[in-house]
Chains A and B, each alone.
Chain A
Amino acid sequence: MMMEFTTWDILRNLLLAARWTVLLSLVSFVGGSLVGLAILFMRIGKNVWLKRFAQGYIELFQGTPLLMQLFLAFFGLGLVGVDVPAWLAAALALTLWTAAFLAEIWRGCVEAIVRGQWEASSSLAMGYVQQMRYVILPQALKIAVPPTVGFSVQVVKGTALTSIIGFVELSKAGTMVTNATFQPFIVYGFVALIYFALCWPLSKSSQILERKLNVAHRNH
């Protein structure tokens, strides 16, 4: 039986599914930031074992395709008897993946702070935590904002992969709507437009932030 789909039907279904893309992006980004922060502190801290762990973590997640990480989270956990729904596997894998990249971006920002800042604060008798808290991180945070916002675009695009393990977000909805309407060009055209509408403001604001920070070097 053939049903007639109006353009509006198509768009409405896609927009409804896009909510899940947005939600998954937000969860992964926030979760990834928190985990990434923990990884960052292990990576730049003084404990050798934590450092190695963080380094291994980053290399592992940067050195394997996100798709494999999704498969492992979805099927792997299933193998050991943990039954994970697709949304959970998707959120978990994306969070861990985001954390690895953010930790590495932020490490670059912390290390971009010149040695003189460490030495000056040391010579004022500050301890490591105080130096971090009051001298290094405030400066690192500022330079971290543009690349972090820029990376959020990658997270949004990364959510598209979760369609493969069956999570119904924008891409998956696109496939489903196409199967029902046989209008792949229109459907995927809309899908692409919606992704663009999500990503473009992010990358644009990253650019603007970068330019702003280059003009005004201070933050208060």
Chain B
Amino acid sequence: MSLIEITEVRKSFGTNEVLKGINIDVDPGEVIAIIGKSGSGKSTLLRCINGLETIDSGSIAVAGAQLLPDELHLRALRLKIGMIFQSFNLFPHLTAGKNVMLSQMVVKKVPTADAEATARKMLDRVGLAHKFDAYPEELSGGQQQRVAIARALAMQPMALLCDEITSALDPELVNEVLAVVKELAAEGMTLLMVTHEMRFARDVCTRVVFMHQGRVHEIGAPQDVFGDPKTPELKQFLGLQAA
């Protein structure tokens, strides 16, 4: 059974239809890269899956449960799916450790000691055990993003949504974040990531989704999508990326 089932999802902002009937089924353990031009609806799709945007029609189901727009269902959904943002969005008034502990404690009511143990484990997993007491502003962008990943992991999600998580980083910091993601993929985490890192998509992902004007224009294994693009739009897009 698919972990995430996206069926005929449509979403408009005013008169601007941004998603025009999206269908994607994601199996557990899949790593899916979403590529496409700016404005093609990639972020909107991820945000819909996480309930940050409400869909106009169609359906999204996670682990068999439908996404419904009320608070209770949304929170249940968000316990299953984590999200990492381009701009990290760490809580600036809390240390790295407290960032990872907070939601465990207030959402899952995990006792402090256990939350701290988990936080240390998760920070260790992203290579930042020594930064437990550092504030976000004392960390590099790459480190902040890894803390954000640890924070999402601490909630033990079934899948992670990543929206251009390396786009705000200096080039030399991109790899440390991608290395963490790669490790997660190897451990079997289900990942949906919007990315411009084509090499990463080719090497790590099980499938690649090419979005164009609010539709899934092409979808397939990386070697097919990159090696043998079927549509002129994808060819043009890949040409631009290579250039």
Q: Are A220 and B87 in contact (CB under 8 A)?
A: no
Question: Which of B101-109, B117-125, B201-209, B230-238 is found at the contact surface with chain A?
Answer: B101-109
Of A122, A124, A138, A139, the residue contacting B151 (CB under 8 A) is A124
Q: Are B93 and A124 in contact (CB under 8 A)?
A: no
Using A123-B83, A217-B137 as known contacts, say yes or no to A142 and B107 having CB atoms under 8 A apart: no
Enumerate chain B residues within 8 angstroms of A219, measured Cβ to Cβ. Answer: 93
B44 shortest CB reach to chain A, Å: 13
Question: Is residue A134 within 8 Å, beta carbon to beta carbon, of the partner chain?
Answer: yes
A44 shortest CB reach to chain B, Å: 17
Q: Are B92 and A120 in contact (CB under 8 A)?
A: no
Residue of A nearest to B137 (CB): A217
A123 to B151 CA separation, bound complex (whole angstroms): 11
Using A121-B103, A125-B103, A126-B103 as known contacts, say yes or no to A139 and B93 having CB atoms under 8 A apart: yes
Residues of chain A at interface, number, CB under 8 A: 23
Question: Is residue A117 within 8 Å, beta carbon to beta carbon, of the partner chain?
Answer: yes
Question: Is residue B50 within 8 Å, beta carbon to beta carbon, of the partner chain?
Answer: yes
Using A130-B107, A218-B92 as known contacts, say yes or no to A120 and B52 having CB atoms under 8 A apart: no
Residue of A nearest to B102 (CB): A134
B232 shortest CB reach to chain A, Å: 35
Residue of A nearest to B133 (CB): A220
Q: Are A126 and B107 in contact (CB under 8 A)?
A: yes
Identify which of residues 121-169 in chain A touch chain B, using a CB-to-CB cut-off of 8 Å: 121-128, 130, 133-135, 138-139, 142
Which one of B75, B82, B152 has the greatest number of beta carbons of chain A within 10 Å? B75
Q: Are A138 and B106 in contact (CB under 8 A)?
A: no
B79 shortest CB reach to chain A, Å: 5
A119 shortest CB reach to chain B, Å: 6
Q: Are A127 and B135 in contact (CB under 8 A)?
A: no
Residue of B nearest to A135 (CB): B91
Q: Are A116 and B102 in contact (CB under 8 A)?
A: no
A128 to B135 CA separation, bound complex (whole angstroms): 24
Contact mask B82-97 → A, CB, 8 Å, 1/0?
Answer: 1101010111111100
Using A126-B106, A134-B106, A218-B137 as known contacts, say yes or no to A117 and B78 having CB atoms under 8 A apart: no
A62 to B94 CA separation, bound complex (whole angstroms): 36
Residue of A nearest to B75 (CB): A125
Main secondary structure of the interface of B (DSSP, over half): mixed
Q: Are B93 and A142 in contact (CB under 8 A)?
A: yes
Main secondary structure of the interface of A (DSSP, over half): helix
Enumerate chain B residues within 8 angstroms of A142, measured Cβ to Cβ. Answer: 93
Which one of B81, B82, B87, B89 has the greatest number of beta carbons of chain A within 10 Å? B89
Enumerate chain A residues within 8 angstroms of B135, measured Cβ to Cβ. Answer: 218, 220
B19 shortest CB reach to chain A, Å: 18
Enumerate chain B residues within 8 angstroms of A121, measured Cβ to Cβ. Answer: 91, 103
A123 to B48 CA separation, bound complex (whole angstroms): 12
Q: Are B82 and A127 in contact (CB under 8 A)?
A: no
A128 to B155 CA separation, bound complex (whole angstroms): 18
Q: Are B92 and A139 in contact (CB under 8 A)?
A: yes
Of A117, A128, A139, A220, the residue contacting B89 (CB under 8 A) is A117
Residue of B nearest to A116 (CB): B89
Using A130-B107, A134-B106, A220-B95 as known contacts, say yes or no to A125 and B89 having CB atoms under 8 A apart: no
Using A120-B85, A126-B106 as known contacts, say yes or no to A220 and B50 having CB atoms under 8 A apart: no
Q: Are A124 and B85 in contact (CB under 8 A)?
A: no
Residue of B nearest to A130 (CB): B106
Of A125, A218, A220, the residue contacting B107 (CB under 8 A) is A125
Question: Is residue B71 within 8 Å, beta carbon to beta carbon, of the partner chain?
Answer: yes
Which one of A117, A119, A120, A219 has the greatest number of beta carbons of chain B within 10 Å? A120
Q: Are A120 and B106 in contact (CB under 8 A)?
A: no
Known: A117-B89, A121-B103, A123-B82. 11 other contacts (CB 8 A): A116-B89, A119-B89, A121-B91, A124-B82, A124-B107, A124-B152, A125-B79, A126-B75, A126-B107, A139-B92, A139-B93
- A sample of 10 inter-chain contacts (CB < 8 A) reads A117-B91, A119-B85, A123-B50, A123-B52, A123-B82, A124-B103, A125-B79, A127-B75, A134-B102, A218-B92
